[in-house]
Amino acid sequence: FRLALIQLQVSSVKSDNVTRACGLVQEAAAQGAKIVSLPECFNSPYGTKYFPEYAEKIPGESTQKLSEVAKECGIYLIGGSIPEEDAGKLYNTCTVFGPDGTLLVKYRKLHLFDIDVPGKITFQESETLSPGDSFSTFDTPYCRVGLGICYDMRFAELAQVYAQRGCQLLVYPGAFNMTTGPAHWELLQRGRAVDNQVYVATASPARDDQASYVAWGHSTIVSPW
């Protein structure tokens, strides 16, 4: 089967981001993709100050559009992630829709991105976000898929659990930055793939040098070899 990763330029206008994302999903499906993944935080700029402003409930405006385009294209759509609001808390959440448009699973980022690399980058997702507390896998006619988001990729145990549960493909929508990206983005994916003998795919937002948080980009698919 064909897997497509969408490396999307994210603007400050949510509706534009969602419209562009859906257009690119249609383009990927037209080229034969059966599973399509959007990047982390595809409908909102990435940053703790943006999460509360852009957060929405699930189901909501953005996920409704994802459901519609998945059904229209007859594909499995991994909706990258969006800031989700639920019961007064905010989460970094990935939704997956089946070929009939149904919501198959919802995954909330387990490991929040709190780092301080002196002189390079300081970032604290925990300022506004809460962590998820569960694993998410879903079945397709092609293979079983396990989900993580960005920083989750650094935690080998998560990938091991998914492999033990029969996943052959792990998908991590992610937005590594210009410090951690060159150092570890590809290394971590290849490590998880070889350790567990699974395919690993990462979908990143496109690099935007004008953004407050500059994503490394380099969306990647790695084989078990």
Mean pLDDT in runs of 10 for the chain (225 residues)? Answer: 97 98 98 98 94 97 98 98 97 98 98 79 84 97 98 97 98 95 97 98 97 95 98
* pLDDT for res 27: 98
> 10 Å Cβ neighbour count for 93?
24
* CA dihedral of 184, 188, 191, 192, whole degrees rounded to 10: 180
Pairing relationship of beta strands 169-173 and 144-147 according to DSSP bridges: parallel
Indicate which residues carry an active-site annotation: 40, 109, 150
Residue 36 C-beta-side C-alpha neighbours within 13 Å: 31
What's the predicted TM-score (pTM) here? 0.96
**What class does CATH assign to 3-222?**
alpha beta
* pLDDT for res 162: 98
Q: How far is CA 187 from CA 10, 39, 140, 200, 216, in A?
A: 25, 19, 27, 11, 14
Q: What is the helix (H) or strand (E) element at residue 146, kind and residue range? A: strand 144-147
